[in-house]
Chains A and B, each alone.
Chain A
Amino acid sequence: MELAWYALLGLFFAGYLVLGGYDYGVGLLLARGADAARRRAALNAVGPYFLGNEVWLVAAVGILFGAFPVLEGELLAGCYPAALGALTGVILVTAGVQLRSRPDSRWARAGWDRVIMVGSLLAALGWGVVLAALLQGVPLHVDGHVAGVTHLFTPFAAATGLALVALVAAHGAAFLTLRLPAAEADRLRPLARRLVAAAVAAIAVAAVVGLLSDRVRAAAQRPAVGVLLAILLVAALLVARAALGRGRVGVAFAATATALALPVVLVGATLWPYVLVSTVEPGASLTVADAAASAPTLRLLGWLAVPLLPALLGFQAMCWWIFRGRTDGRAPVYW
């Protein structure tokens, strides 16, 4: 039962990285031009999906709290600065996107667009560092608490944070080539290819730094799985790059989406059966089963929430279906 909930937690967090990931990628790409119309077109490409994307994070944290309460407390409090940064980013993006078109003046809108860029950067960086913190282990003591926050400041955490920024930028560009009107999308493809290449480089650097880090090597329970998934991640990006070259933007987007979901699988599978590995006291490490809520709680959540999962996913799919295809001006321009 714990495994099922762990998988569900992974599904929602990976879903957030894929869907929220292109929000942040589009947010970063607002830095691209001074042209106000282009920025607005990019945001409206995200338009109808935006509100349905960030809720995956809210749901993931809800599952974390309901099904893995001990993990929730120690992970967020133990990675305080990274979680704070990610949360600030999430808030800035959510407020920025929804409010940027409400004032009329050009400079106010340009100001909000800068808020969205900074927010996107912080969110991607913050979640990258949180994922790295899991992979490199945390100073979890026998009393069950993570001590201090300096354990976050390592070259591996920095490299992973930057890699996630590069990854969402490439993903956002792939999304725009899929969503914007054809002429504009074609102009964007070369940039998307360059961003995918940059993401490959950033991930390669993070992987090498990780392999050289004693903490990562010690924390990894199944290093072979980790390396395999990292190779898969790079392969997905190479597929995306080739597909962008041939104009197969749907394939490219699917590939970058896979690349954003894979880090979650990688962290979960490499650490299994642990979820928080202690760097100071091997006996204090937290397994998935230890971190989970007790059986009656999981049963209750299973009865109340799981039957509704098809509805949750179904209404999300309905949103994607209604607004499928390139932006064509048939829906109102709102953001």
Chain B
Amino acid sequence: MDTLLLARLQFAATASVHFLFVAVTLGLVTLLVGLQTAWVLTGNPRYERLTRFWGQLYVINYVLGIATGIVMEFQFGLNWSGLSRYVGNVFGAPLAIETLVAFFLESTFLGMWIFGWHRLRRGVHLALLYGVALTAYASAFWIMVANSWLQNPVGYEVRGGVAHLTDFSALLTNPALWMALGHVVSAALLTGGLLMAAVSAWHLNRRTTDHALFRTSLRIGVVTATLAITFVQGFGFAQFGPVGAVQPTKFDSDNPDADALIADWTARFGPGDYLPPVPANVGLGFMILIGFGLGLLWLLLPLLWRDWIIRLRFPLWLLMLALPLPFVALILGWIAREVGRQPWVAYGLLPVDQAVSPISPWLMATSLTGFTLLLGALAVTNWVLLARHAARGAADPALGRPPAQPPADDSRPEPAFA
């Protein structure tokens, strides 16, 4: 067994699961901010109920985002100690900032938001959700700064075999950063919007109670997803130029820049296979196909007029069937970006085989199997819980339930704190 391969598999598995959950987190929290703001401004109880229902799904989804995120953070040290040794001076900085400035606050705010219902003033409670959303975006930003540095190392110099930071602003103006950030954020909005539209469509199609409620969230979801897909496409195609320029071997290795770069690497790092494996680009093609397919959401938009989208029924089915697509596209896009930089951890600077920890393959295999099973089981459990709570409807979500009301989902005879 090969420690390097196992470590790469583990990172790919953890990061894939992480991405599926954090995209929903980022998309839903944005929509929640809108819903709760509408509730506070208008006082309309429908928006309170919408906030509770979608907030409950958001909070359930959040759990796996944290769990996989913590595993990712530890994995840098556990499996990739060479990464911290050789480039930690530069790559570690945005990650440290992310944990301190973004994630630390996000989680603190979220805890107060969940338990602050009926206890805090409405303005304070809303401000907490704004805090959660802003720090979530800050988190996405700093993670993309770190990732873009791996795609295109800038602002450093190598002294004594170790990279040192020379110019932090270069990390923030990295050509690999901004279009990718826009692409990821709009993909998250697309995912959140489509999730909202599809769950609402399920309820409307089944004619469950709360028709008016799910009609509102269907409209919000469809409009959000439709606008987002256009941004996803725009930022996606806008990436080819800048990323192709800094990573000539990524999308198409048959170009003079790639040949020159490989000749340079062969001279500096010795002969080797400096091309990424083919599947990276196969996935990319499929992802672009999904992107075009979801562009058809624009055709559904006119059907919002006089609720034809609900009355015709088949658009509801289309929305439900489309739900897996953004998730598949997320994974494929991520694979294109990450596998496309192989065989490097930091492009042209640190090869993967120098970054992996000197751990016995058996230990690495144990860790890979254990965490893949653990996170896989947690992910499936989480999706089952999400589906059940989505199907249960907005009658009485546990989130924001008034304390005096006996919990409907808890059939114990004694009072709560006996």
Q: Are A294 and B165 in touch, CB under 8 angstroms?
A: yes
- The residues of B that contact A99 with a CB separation of less than 8 Å are 60, 63, 381-382, 385
Q: Are A331 and B98 in touch, CB under 8 angstroms?
A: no
- The residues of B that contact A36 with a CB separation of less than 8 Å are 412
* Complex CA–CA separation, A57 to B77 (angstroms): 14
B389 at the interface (CB under 8 A from A): yes
Q: For residues 35 through 63 of chain B, which have their beta carbon under 8 Å from a beta carbon of chain A?
A: 59-60, 62-63
B92 at the interface (CB under 8 A from A): yes
* Complex CA–CA separation, A330 to B71 (angstroms): 35
- B interface residues (Cβ-Cβ under 8 A, vs A): 59-60, 62-64, 66-67, 69-71, 73-74, 76-85, 88-90, 92-93, 95-101, 103-105, 107-112, 114-120, 162, 164-166, 168, 357-359, 363, 366-367, 370-371, 374-375, 378, 381-382, 385, 388-389, 398-404, 407, 409-410, 412, 414, 416-418
A228 at the interface (CB under 8 A from B): no
Stretch binding the partner chain, chosen from A42-50, A161-169, A192-200, A214-222: A42-50
A-B contact pairs, 23 of them (CB 8 A): A37-B417, A40-B410, A51-B107, A51-B114, A58-B99, A61-B74, A62-B73, A65-B84, A65-B88, A65-B96, A66-B95, A67-B96, A88-B371, A94-B63, A94-B70, A99-B60, A180-B417, A184-B418, A294-B164, A311-B105, A312-B105, A322-B112, A331-B403
Closest residue of chain B to A311, judged by CB?
A: B105
For the complex formed, measure the closest distance between the CB of A87 and the CB atoms of chain B, giving whole angstroms: 5
* Complex CA–CA separation, A55 to B102 (angstroms): 11
For the complex formed, measure the closest distance between the CB of B122 and the CB atoms of chain A, giving whole angstroms: 14
Contact with B along A292-335 (1 / 0, CB 8 A): 01101100110011001001100110110011000101111110
- The residues of A that contact B414 with a CB separation of less than 8 Å are 37
A186 at the interface (CB under 8 A from B): no
Q: Are A293 and B88 in touch, CB under 8 angstroms?
A: yes
A52 at the interface (CB under 8 A from B): yes
Q: Are A331 and B105 in touch, CB under 8 angstroms?
A: no
Interface size on A, residues (CB 8 A): 79
Q: Are A66 and B108 in touch, CB under 8 angstroms?
A: no
Q: Is the interface of B mostly helix, strand, loop or mixed?
A: helix
- The residues of B that contact A104 with a CB separation of less than 8 Å are 409-410
For the complex formed, measure the closest distance between the CB of B4 and the CB atoms of chain A, giving whole angstroms: 14
Contact of B416 among A37, A72, A92, A304 (CB under 8 A): A37
Stretch binding the partner chain, chosen from A76-84, A233-241, A251-259, A261-269: A76-84
Q: Are A70 and B85 in touch, CB under 8 angstroms?
A: yes
Q: Are A312 and B100 in touch, CB under 8 angstroms?
A: yes
Q: For residues 110 through 155 of chain A, which have their beta carbon under 8 Å from a beta carbon of chain B?
A: 144-145, 147, 149
Q: Are B63 and A98 in touch, CB under 8 angstroms?
A: yes
For the complex formed, measure the closest distance between the CB of B109 and the CB atoms of chain A, giving whole angstroms: 7
Q: Are A62 and B82 in touch, CB under 8 angstroms?
A: no
Q: Is the interface of A mostly helix, strand, loop or mixed?
A: helix
A170 at the interface (CB under 8 A from B): no
- The residues of A that contact B95 with a CB separation of less than 8 Å are 62, 65-66
Question: Do A83 and B74 form a contact, CB below 8 Å, given A41-B416, A65-B84, A315-B108?
Answer: yes
Closest residue of chain B to A62, judged by CB?
A: B99
For the complex formed, measure the closest distance between the CB of B375 and the CB atoms of chain A, giving whole angstroms: 8
Contact with B along A96-113 (1 / 0, CB 8 A): 001101111000000000
Q: Are A319 and B78 in touch, CB under 8 angstroms?
A: no
For the complex formed, measure the closest distance between the CB of A328 and the CB atoms of chain B, giving whole angstroms: 8
For the complex formed, measure the closest distance between the CB of A240 and the CB atoms of chain B, giving whole angstroms: 24
Q: Are A318 and B77 in touch, CB under 8 angstroms?
A: no
A230 at the interface (CB under 8 A from B): no
Q: Are A319 and B73 in touch, CB under 8 angstroms?
A: no
Question: Do A73 and B77 form a contact, CB below 8 Å, given A99-B385, A319-B111, A331-B118?
Answer: yes
